[in-house]
Amino acid sequence: MKIVLCVKQVPDTSDIKWTENNTIQREGLESIINPYDVYAFESVLRLKKKYEDVTITALTMGPKQAEGMLRKLLAVGADDAVLLSDKKFAGADTYATGKTIAAAINSKFPDYDLIVCGQFAIDGDTAQTGPSIANFLDIPQVTYVKEIIEYSESCLTVLREIDDCIERVKVKLPALICVLQGDFEPSRASINGIIRAQKAVIPVYGIDDTGLEPEDAGLKGSPTYVNKAFRAPQKDVECVYTDSCTELADAIKCCGGLNE
């Protein structure tokens, strides 16, 4: 089974600093692998340990520096990695991002079986990219995947978490899944893995490798734009101590938190 794992490099949002104009101060901000993509990676590593014929190609669309993230994934167990990087991809919204990644997969990995994304990226947080890639490739998709159960007869069986229930879903490959947070201990790189990752040649693909026209990608290919970005107003938190549940319910009612 040939897997393309889509990973995004994101700013470490636990360490965000804001400018006076309420924009993110990106200078000096550390970049990390999107945490949901770490879960996605762990799920496919488990699959690779279970089935002999699984190969993982890590793919990211981003700046040249994203190569460092790809090398870390190679050190831990990805077989190959590719970087989509071109000035013409800059300013892409989720539509153009999905279209570019789908076009690159179609052009460079037409024989893929499974595309794996994280459910969300912790910076943009739209959860649109995975479904958008599936839509452009016209393949089935399963979102909110908690666990991959098995792979047999060109089908993947997964557990999907929605609201207060778990669904068991069987999907025919080729397909795309978006992976939620799982109960995983992140795998570590081995010494051999690190040496292999350092030596690996990571191809960099640009717009000419995707078959797209410049007006399909980046800002030009983006039908949406950010109208305004602002900091959410902070609510004052009041601590109320009560002796009984009835008193507590009255206190909540007073704050407008409960209907009569």
The contact set with ligand FAD (CB under 6 A) reads 6-8, 34, 36-37, 60-62, 90-94, 97, 101, 117-118, 120-121, 123-130, 222, 224-226
Q: How far is the CB of 223 from ligand FAD (least distance, A)?
A: 9
- The closest residue (CB) to ligand FAD is 124
Closest to ligand FAD by CB, 55 or 126? 126
Closest to ligand FAD by CB, 7 or 142? 7
What's the one-letter identity of residue 187?
Answer: S
Closest to ligand FAD by CB, 224 or 242? 224
What per-residue string of b and e applies to 201-239 under the rule 16 or more CB within 10 Å gives b?
ebeebebebbebeeebbbeebbeeeeeeeeeeeeeeeee
- The CA distance from 53 to 120, in Å, is 28
State both tokens at 65.
Answer: 């520096």
- The CA distance from 96 to 177, in Å, is 19
Q: How far is the CB of 131 from ligand FAD (least distance, A)?
A: 8
Check if the beta carbon of residue 25 is closer than 8 Å to that of residue 51. Answer: no
Closest to ligand FAD by CB, 25 or 224? 224
Peptide bond between residue 140 and the one before it cis (omega within 30 degrees of 0): no
Q: How far is the CB of 224 from ligand FAD (least distance, A)?
A: 5
Q: How far is the CB of 91 from ligand FAD (least distance, A)?
A: 4
Closest to ligand FAD by CB, 184 or 251? 184
